[in-house]
Copies of this chain bind each other. A is one copy, B any other.
């Protein structure tokens, strides 16, 4: 009987995620499945919480991976915090800011927004102006806007909210593991991420972290969380404490993979990992410039792990991407929304961020263009 898995080739994943996965992470995922209440598994869960707390520079006890991809993390943070009529402000400069707005709106609240041009960062002064006349329960922003390659000034926005009751919620799907996040110092109350970007683990889990203030807000809800699967008031009883009450069956082998991916970052050293991302980004930007390909984003706001570039004039977007994939076994990403057909998104995330991959892509681009 034909088995399609036999035909899977190794692709250099240089799109907006998933990224290349280290073989030790893939091997970790193929270890024997054990029970979700097995004491050995509880130890791995506890270790993952510590690994995530270290990487996020947070003391938040509620720092766990959610059993779904990054978008499940987004859903989880909003659905646990929002109750009817809660005022929410979302800062938007790309697809993922818009997704936040869609997620929150579906939960029955009126969402206020400040929008910025795609490809440019959130302007802190405009946020300040918006905040001066309004009081919000939640202010949310994307750290690394994967649709444009823009880094938003998350620390500076955090300063605007210091001492307020507002919950500061940050999307760190693409940033975690690629650039510094000091969650507590930056005043971030709630954060979610994904495994398939700079953590270089296959997609399937979403690390989240909630400050004490945010956990209190959940505990003070007047209504039950309208999403059983993502209800943290129950999930935390599985991830914390002595009893470890079963909620849903944790994705055991995915968690092995996450453990190993975080272990690798810890072994390499966090600052080395960030430097490697930046070095390879600079190498790529330099190489692209030499072949006449321009970056979309101004230097100050560029993400090292997600490089948006203008598609060269006359180049056939889909044909070039398809040629890279078929002939050179390299995947790069298309533009989204208003940037579709205008940009490519070149990922240098996690294990992908290596000089040999940059060189490989540059040669391939020269060949196909």
Contact = CB atoms under 8 A, between A and B. Distances in A.
Interface residues of A, number: 77
Contact of A32 (B11, B28, B74): B11
Contacts of A228: 71, 74-75, 99, 102-103, 106
A30 B27 contact: yes
Interface stretch (A12-20, A119-127, A294-302, A361-369): A12-20
Contact of A26 (B72, B248, B253): B253
A9 B31 CA distance: 9
A250 B285 CA distance: 29
Interface in A1-37: 1, 3-5, 7-11, 13, 15, 17-18, 20-21, 26-36
Interface in A291-348: 325, 331, 336
A68 interface: yes
Contact of A204 (B44, B107, B253): B253
A74 B259 CA distance: 28
Interface in A200-241: 202-204, 224-229
A10 B38 CA distance: 12
A256 interface: yes
B13 A34 contact: yes
Interface in A81-105: 99, 102-103
B229 A68 contact: yes
Interface of A: 1, 3-5, 7-11, 13, 15, 17-18, 20-21, 26-36, 38-40, 43-44, 47, 67-72, 74-75, 79, 99, 102-103, 106-108, 194, 196, 202-204, 224-229, 246-254, 256-257, 259-260, 263, 266-267, 325, 331, 336
Contacts of A325: 38-39
Contacts of A34: 8-9, 11, 13, 18, 331
A203 B30 contact: no
Given A1-B267, A99-B228, A70 B248 contact: yes
Given A107-B226, A226-B108, A263-B1, A40 B202 contact: no
Contacts of A28: 5
B26 A30 contact: yes
Most buried by B among A21, A34, A44, A224: A34
